[in-house]
Amino acid sequence: MIDNKAINMDTLNRFLFDNHPVRGEITRLEKTYQSILENHNYPIAVQNLLGELLVATSLLTATLKFDGDIAVQLQGDGPLTLAVVNGNNQQELRGVARVNGEIADDATLKQMVGNGYIVITITPKKGERYQGIVGLEKETLIGCIENYFMQSEQLPTRLFVKTGVHNNKPMAAGILLQVLPANENIQASFEHLSALTETITGDELFQLPTDEILYRLYNQEEVRLFETHQIIFKCGCSRQRCEDSLMTLPASEIDEILNEEGGKIDIHCDYCGKHYLFDAIDIAQLRNKRHLNYH
């Protein structure tokens, strides 16, 4: 095993079992998760769900075999109208939720989302975009994502995800186990490894070094732990992007907003909480830059 004594949060590691055709990933999120929660006042149940979604997306992006982006989006007709996490294979993640109504602390997935589904969009840098839709057929988000793996890759996959609070900070972490392709008859050993992984607690995932977690779970097994990847919160918003979307609006509409909002257009990013302000002078400069007519 690689020496990995420090408790590195916001990291992802892959691992392999030498004696079983099964691979694993472990991901632990602290700052990334906090960045997603900090500018919002989400109900507790939504905070937990976003934590699960974040862990699941991190684990999912680590299964990509190419450069690209992934979006895991929950939508429905319940009080949680939208929850989405975007990630890429550099483990840059961001996420947001929209709530419209009351959500109890112990609300179930169904109570939050109502009639809904999960859309998983994978956009490779080169090649075709892929979109998979999974119904909310299981009681938990994680159960639904396991279904997605079964449907899309035909590979038995288990996710073990915990969210909680440690040292007054929200944390989210999880482990993925997946049968390697072309191994049909390993149900017994996959169940055995899953049963071992099932015993992990939130406290262990939030507090122990990665190699110690793997040792606690699999000390009867030969496990190879691979290099550590850093996970960061990164929002793709920028002033340039705001300018681009502003300039798609008709000039008259921009003028109207400027009038109504007291001479300033305030574009607010839901993901990171940043504000981008544009006044009449900014707009005039943008129009000049793009050779657009003022009238």
- Side-chain half-sphere exposure of 126, counting CA atoms within 13 A: 2
Binding pattern for the stretch 272-291 against Zn ion, x by CB under 5 A and - elsewhere: x-x-----------------
Shortest gap between Cβ of 269 and Zn ion (angstroms)? Answer: 3
Residues 6+ apart with CB under 8 A from 49: 74, 80, 83, 97, 109, 112, 141
Q: Is residue 95 a contact partner of residue 54, using CB atoms and an 8 Å limit?
A: yes
Q: What gap in Å lies between CA 40 and CA 63, rounded to an integer?
A: 30
Q: What would the x/- binding string for Zn ion be over residues 188 to 227, using CB under 5 A?
A: ----------------------------------------
What is the full DSSP assignment across 36-77?
HHHT----HHHHHHHHHHHHHHHHHHTT-SSSEEEEEEEEES
Does residue 85 bind Zn ion (CB under 5 A)?
no
CB of 216 to Zn ion, least distance (A): 38
Q: Measured from the CB of residue 240, what is the shortest distance to Zn ion in angstroms?
A: 12
Cβ burial, residue 47 (10 Å; 0-12/13-18/19+): buried
The values of phi and psi at residue 78, to 5°, are -85, -175
Stretch that binds Zn ion, among 62-70, 97-105, 230-238, 257-265 (CB under 5 A): 230-238
Q: How far is the CB of 235 from Zn ion (least distance, A)?
A: 3
Q: How far is the CB of 141 from Zn ion (least distance, A)?
A: 24
Part in contact with Zn ion (CB under 5 A); list of ranges 57-65, 171-179, 268-276, 278-286: 268-276
User: Is 163 strand, coil or helix?
Assistant: strand
What is the CB neighbour count within 10 angstroms for residue 261?
12
Interface pattern 37-76 for Zn ion (x via CB under 5 A): ----------------------------------------
Among 271, 276, 278, 283, binds Zn ion (CB under 5 A): 271
Beta carbons within 8 Å of 150's beta carbon, 6+ residues apart: 156, 157
Span 233-252, contacts to Zn ion by CB under 5 A: 235, 237
CB of 85 to Zn ion, least distance (A): 14
Select from 269, 276, 278, 283 the one that contacts Zn ion (CB under 5 A): 269
| Contact positions vs Zn ion (CB under 5 A) | 235, 237, 269, 271-272, 274
